[in-house]
């Protein structure tokens, strides 16, 4: 069986299991044949889990929901439970969060994050971006040029027709189709025939992709997300930066004297020093949080960046662009735009906010320099090279992190390499 046939079998099997697990009779408005449930928050009002023909914001409950977005541009968050979500015809932003979810993005250019759990995500027509996060996920593109990223476990990614970009994530994943493949196990079958026997050999090639990290270190404290999704911090607690609030978090970012985290409901919460308003988070939904020296940044659900706090060099004034990832440094910040190029803002005395041209998959910013990983795993840095911090070694990397005057990266074979200032080893 070839990989595309395998993907269709797995997609059908997982979809059947998930649909069977969700109760409800078939009504006119159904998602995967299941009637919409009740109890959701639709534009702030508790009711049936179905949107209007307009732009809706729908949040599910802590149990298994069946949610339908209908028309226009909807934002749907299933929260906890094994949810079934249908996006509708607009350019939707869908998030499964915790639970084993079944998500159909529908028509339109959609942004889908399956969240934690073993999820099945179907793209539908349009130029879609699908992410699995944690769990063994099945992601399937459709027509048009899609971008699929698996996440933290063994995933199956099927790009479908179109020039797709597939990122497997942290484990060895199976990818089918796609013009650009990273961290994927590409199964190649060759058959040789002699007069008496036919031999079939299947080989695989694995390409790198940076993994997400549940640990983040600040100037004098470190925080981590535990298996129960709560945050624990240790080190300096001079301003309460190591005393996280209770509850679940999906991301954590530690800075000098404050820390920020992303909640499962897409809100950001910060704690610690608030001298410049760096822990006073603006309202709204977010995909990412990044804390820095007396300021913080977040990536909103519409992929625009917003920053708050101290702004002596303009570091809280991001450009009016759409981003897939951002990172806040000491006095400047950088982000990867939708077209995979990098934009930086803030202090630029040493060209640390003047990125080179080209595509990147990850970017990191700190004091006098910034670094990024190119599409084939090579690290490129820019800014001051006072201690060799912008002179990375050769090779392919899965992750890179810029420090004060040094840089470290995780190679695709799991080894760690660091370069720059080494006065303290």
Of 375, 370, 273, the closest CA to residue 331 belongs to: 370
**CB–CB of 251/231 below 8 Å?**
no
Banded model confidence at residue 8, pLDDT cuts 50, 70, 90: very low
Q: What is the pTM of this model?
A: 0.61
Q: Which of 10-14, 18-22, 140-144, 383-387 ranks highest by mean pLDDT?
A: 383-387
Banded model confidence at residue 135, pLDDT cuts 50, 70, 90: low
pLDDT mean over 397-422: 90
pLDDT mean over 51-58: 82
Give the DSSP per-residue string, 3-45. Answer: HHHHHHHHHHHHHHHHHHHS-----SSEETTEE--EEEEETTE
Banded model confidence at residue 35, pLDDT cuts 50, 70, 90: confident
With the CA atoms of 82, 86, 90 and 95 taken in that order, what torsion angle do they form, in degrees rounded to the nearest 10? Answer: 10
Of 21, 159, 30, the closest CA to residue 88 belongs to: 30
The owner of tokens 């912008």 is 390
pLDDT mean over 7-22: 42
**CB–CB of 272/239 below 8 Å?**
yes
Q: Which two tokens stand for residue 371?
A: 């670094």
**Cα 77-289-212 angle, rounded to 5 deg:** 85
Banded model confidence at residue 297, pLDDT cuts 50, 70, 90: very high
**Rounded Cα–Cα distance for residues 329 and 387 (Å):** 18
**Rounded Cα–Cα distance for residues 58 and 285 (Å):** 12
Tell me which of 302 and 304 has the higher pLDDT: 304
Given a cut of 50, is residue 20 above it in pLDDT?
Answer: no
Banded model confidence at residue 165, pLDDT cuts 50, 70, 90: low
- What are the pLDDT digits (tens) for 176-212? 655 555 555 544 445 555 555 555 444 444 333 333 4
Residue 7 C-alpha from the chain's centroid: 23
pLDDT mean over 343-353: 97
**CB–CB of 22/82 below 8 Å?**
yes
What confidence score (pLDDT) does residue 413 get? 81
Given a cut of 90, is residue 282 above it in pLDDT?
Answer: yes
The owner of tokens 């040789």 is 192
Of 229, 225, 205, the closest CA to residue 215 belongs to: 225
With the CA atoms of 121, 124, 130 and 132 taken in that order, what torsion angle do they form, in degrees rounded to the nearest 10? Answer: 0
Other beta carbons within 10 Å of 23: 10
What confidence score (pLDDT) does residue 295 get? 98
What confidence score (pLDDT) does residue 124 get? 65
**Lowest pLDDT segment from 176-190, 226-240, 310-324, 336-350:** 176-190
Proportion of the chain above pLDDT 90, given as a percent: 37
**Lowest pLDDT segment from 144-153, 188-197, 234-243, 335-344:** 188-197
**Rounded Cα–Cα distance for residues 350 and 344 (Å):** 13
Tell me which of 269 and 118 has the higher pLDDT: 269
Residue 234 C-alpha from the chain's centroid: 26
**CB–CB of 398/412 below 8 Å?**
yes
Tell me which of 215 and 127 has the higher pLDDT: 215
pLDDT mean over 32-40: 84
Classify 136 as helix, strand or coil. coil
The owner of tokens 């639970």 is 99
What confidence score (pLDDT) does residue 53 get? 79
Q: Which residues contact 69 (CB under 8 A, 6 or more apart)?
A: 51, 56, 58, 76, 85, 86, 87, 88, 90, 92, 94, 106
What confidence score (pLDDT) does residue 7 get? 44
**Rounded Cα–Cα distance for residues 275 and 367 (Å):** 20
What confidence score (pLDDT) does residue 89 get? 72
- What are the pLDDT digits (tens) for 265-280? 889 999 999 999 999 9
Tell me which of 236 and 137 has the higher pLDDT: 236
Given a cut of 60, is residue 138 above it in pLDDT?
Answer: yes
> For all residues of the chain together, what is the average pLDDT?
78
Using DSSP bridges, classify how beta strands 129-131 and 147-149 pair: parallel, antiparallel or unpaired: parallel
């Amino acid at each position: 069986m070839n990989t595309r046939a395998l993907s269709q079998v797995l997609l059908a099997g997982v979809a059947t299991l998930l649909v069977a697990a969700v109760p409800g009779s078939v009504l006119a408005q159904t998602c995967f044949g299941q009637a919409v449930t009740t109890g959701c928050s639709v534009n702030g009002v508790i009711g049936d889990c179905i949107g209007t023909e307009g732009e809706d914001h729908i949040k599910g409950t802590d149990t298994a929901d069946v949610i339908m977005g209908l028309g226009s541009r909807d934002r749907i968050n299933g929260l906890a439970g094994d949810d079934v979500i249908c996006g509708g015809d607009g350019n939707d932003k869908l998030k499964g969060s915790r639970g084993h979810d079944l998500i159909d993005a529908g028509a339109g250019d959609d942004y889908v994050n399956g969240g934690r759990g073993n999820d099945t995500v179907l793209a539908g027509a349009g130029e879609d971006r699908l992410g699995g996060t944690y769990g063994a996920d099945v992601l399937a593109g459709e027509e048009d040029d899609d971008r699929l990223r698996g996440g933290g476990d063994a995933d199956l990614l099927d790009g479908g027709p179109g020039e797709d970009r597939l990122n497997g994530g942290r484990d060895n994943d199976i990818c089918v189709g796609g013009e650009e493949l990273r961290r994927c196990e590409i199964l190649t079958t060759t058959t040789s025939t002699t007069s008496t026997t036919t031999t079939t050999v299947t080989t695989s090639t694995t390409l790198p992709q940076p993994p997400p990290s549940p640990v983040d270190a600040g100037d004098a404290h470190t925080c981590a997300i535990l298996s129960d999704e709560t945050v624990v911090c240790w080190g300096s607690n001079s301003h309460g930066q190591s005393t996280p609030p209770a509850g679940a978090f999906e991301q954590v970012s530690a800075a000098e004297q404050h820390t920020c985290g992303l909640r499962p409901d897409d809100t950001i919460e910060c704690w610690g020093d608030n001298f410049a308003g760096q822990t006073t988070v603006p309202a709204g939904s977010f995909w990412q949080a990044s804390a820095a020296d007396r300021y913080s940044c977040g990536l909103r659900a519409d992929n625009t960046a917003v920053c708050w706090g101290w702004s002596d060099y303009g570091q809280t004034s991001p450009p009016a662009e759409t981003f897939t990832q951002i990172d806040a440094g000491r006095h400047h910040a950088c982000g990867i735009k939708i077209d995979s190029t990098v934009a930086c803002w803030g202090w630029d005395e040493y060209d640390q906010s003047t990125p080179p041209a080209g595509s990147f998959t990850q970017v990191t910013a700190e004091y006098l320099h910034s670094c990024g990983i190119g599409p084939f795993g090579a690290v490129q840095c820019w800014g001051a090279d006072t201690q060799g911090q912008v002179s990375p070694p050769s090779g392919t990397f899965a992750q890179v992190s810029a420090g004060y005057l040094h840089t470290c990266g995780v190679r695709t074979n799991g080894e760690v390499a660091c370069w720059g200032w080494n006065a303290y080893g």
